[in-house]
Amino acid sequence: MATNEQRREAAKRKLAAQQEHRAERAKKQKKNATAAVIVTVLVVALLGGALYALSTAWGGGDGDDQAAAPETGAPAAGPDTSGLPTVPLPTRPEALPASVNCTYAPDREPSKPVNPPADGEVTTEGTVPATVATSAGTIDLTLDRALAPCTVNSFVNLAEQGYYADTSCHRMTTSPGLQVLQCGDPTGQGAGGPGYSFADEVFDGLTYGRGLLAMANAGPNTNGSQFFMIFGDAQLPPDYTVFGSIGPEGLQTIDTVAAGGEDTGSGDGRPNIPVDISDVTVG
């Protein structure tokens, strides 16, 4: 039978072993936690880079030709596009029927309170004049239902509810291969929308050029409220719905804004000459 002294010694050894085990376990937990933090940081960094690439990619701009940042820090001048010819509106290989069915699906909270258009039949006939009143000047547009009836219907709906009033054109690209002014996001950050989305109205052979009005998107069938106006070249894949054209007064306004350059000097940023929209009227 073990003596009291022997039992005490055994208890001491057991306690020492337990303490050593706990210390080793704590050391491993600390090591694992450190590794987890490192992995998290790396994942966030990688995701951030991917999101940046997605948010800035148009699928057609020539990044190698982007203008270098100005050495003095002063805003870089933009291109003189005033003498460039406009392109005619594209035509569909096959005309649409007299009416089409449009669906506007809820997708998130709207950036500004607005009601979506009603789902249902929409005419494909005729055009709609639109006037965008901005701090830089008037931009006159003609919306073409034969090209994109569901898009025209949405744009008219948003304009009539004042959705575009008191917003700013948040992005301008001036690099060779992609020269557009983008508007339609009430947040001014490039990710806002009306709380619904609708399908692309594109077709094979669709090309882009000066004077065309098209929808911005975040991928297939994600159209909302953001649109872009082409004042120069636009080497893009046929993934962006063209729904109208820009008139002479509008192009003159945009040319002036483009000549002022954008704020990053990289060929992609906010216009140095602000384009604040006070109202959009249609009809």
pLDDT at 127 (0 to 100):
98
pLDDT of residue 5: 52
Cβ contact 228:180 at 8 Å: yes
The per-residue pLDDT for 69 is 33
Read off the pLDDT of residues 252-273 as tens digits, 9 standing for 90 and up.
Answer: 999 999 999 999 999 999 999 9
Distance between CA atoms of 49 and 51, rounded to whole angstroms? 5
What is the structure's pLDDT at 77?
87
Give yes or no for residue 59 having a pLDDT over 90: no
pLDDT mean over 41-63: 32
For 84-138, write each residue's pLDDT tens digit. Answer: 999 999 999 999 999 999 999 999 999 999 999 999 999 999 999 999 999 999 9
Q: How much helix, strand and coil, in percent to the nearest 5, is found in the chain?
A: 30, 25, 45
- At residue 32, the pLDDT reads 46
pTM exceeds 0.85 for this model: no
User: Residue 181 CB: number of other CB atoms within 10 A?
Assistant: 25
Could you tell me what percent of the chain has a pLDDT over 70?
Answer: 73
Show the beta-strand stretches assigned E in the chain.
99-102, 105-106, 120-123, 127-134, 137-144, 167-168, 171-175, 178-183, 196-197, 212-215, 227-234, 242-246, 268-269, 276-282
Mean pLDDT (the chain) is: 82
Sorted by where each begins, the domain ranges of the chain are 1-56, 70-282
Question: What CATH superfamily classification does 70-282 receive?
Answer: Cyclophilin-like (2.40.100.10)
What is the tens place of the pLDDT at every residue in 2-24? 454 544 454 445 444 544 544 45
Residue 30 CB contacts under 8 Å (≥ 6 apart), including other chains: none
Q: Is the pLDDT of residue 31 over 80?
A: no
